């Protein structure tokens, strides 16, 4: 799934995320989701792969369990303010920004031509 919830308003986005979680719980199938939203990745994933911009390379991998905590009756408002959730969100954000700065501006322009 490539950015499936990107164009939705926040309420519909949350409802669709919860629907995806219920489908995942019922089917036990792997769902591959691409997103630019760190919160969405942390909320829906059991594994997160952070990639660098062009050339796309894996810069980090994480095993997370927030989706399981939610599916077992957890409250998103509590989960998303959990110190571990916040720390990991900021760590991933720092990795992404570090990777973006590593690209020379002229290379970035050429990549889009």
Question: Which pTM does this prediction carry?
Answer: 0.80
Instruction: Give residue for tokens 């905590």.
Output: 69
C-alpha 112/C-alpha 97 separation (Å) is: 19
What SS3 class is residue 81? coil
113: how many CB neighbours lie within 10 A of its CB? 4
The percentage of residues in the chain with a pLDDT greater than 90, rounded to a whole number, is: 65
The percentage of residues in the chain with a pLDDT greater than 70, rounded to a whole number, is: 88
C-alpha 51/C-alpha 22 separation (Å) is: 27
Q: Is the pLDDT of residue 27 over 80?
A: yes
pLDDT band at residue 110 using 50, 70 and 90 as cut-offs: very low
Q: Give the burial class of 33: count Cβ atoms within 10 A of its Cβ; 0-12 exposed, 13-18 middle, 19 or more buried.
A: middle
Q: Is the pLDDT of residue 106 over 80?
A: no
For residue 102, report the phi and psi dihedrals to the nearest 5 degrees: -70, -15
pLDDT band at residue 74 using 50, 70 and 90 as cut-offs: confident
């Amino acid at each position: 799934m490539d950015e499936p919830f990107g164009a939705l308003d926040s309420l519909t986005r949350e409802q669709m995320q919860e629907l995806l979680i219920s489908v995942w719980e019922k089917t036990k199938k792997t769902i591959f989701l691409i997103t630019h939203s760190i919160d969405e990745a942390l909320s829906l994933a059991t594994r997160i792969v952070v990639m660098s911009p062009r050339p796309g390379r894996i810069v980090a991998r994480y095993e997370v369990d927030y989706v399981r905590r939610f599916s077992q009756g957890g409250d998103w408002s509590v989960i998303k303010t959990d110190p571990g959730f916040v720390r990991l969100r900021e760590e991933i954000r720092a990795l992404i920004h570090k990777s973006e700065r590593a690209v020379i501006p002229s290379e970035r322009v050429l990549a889009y031509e």
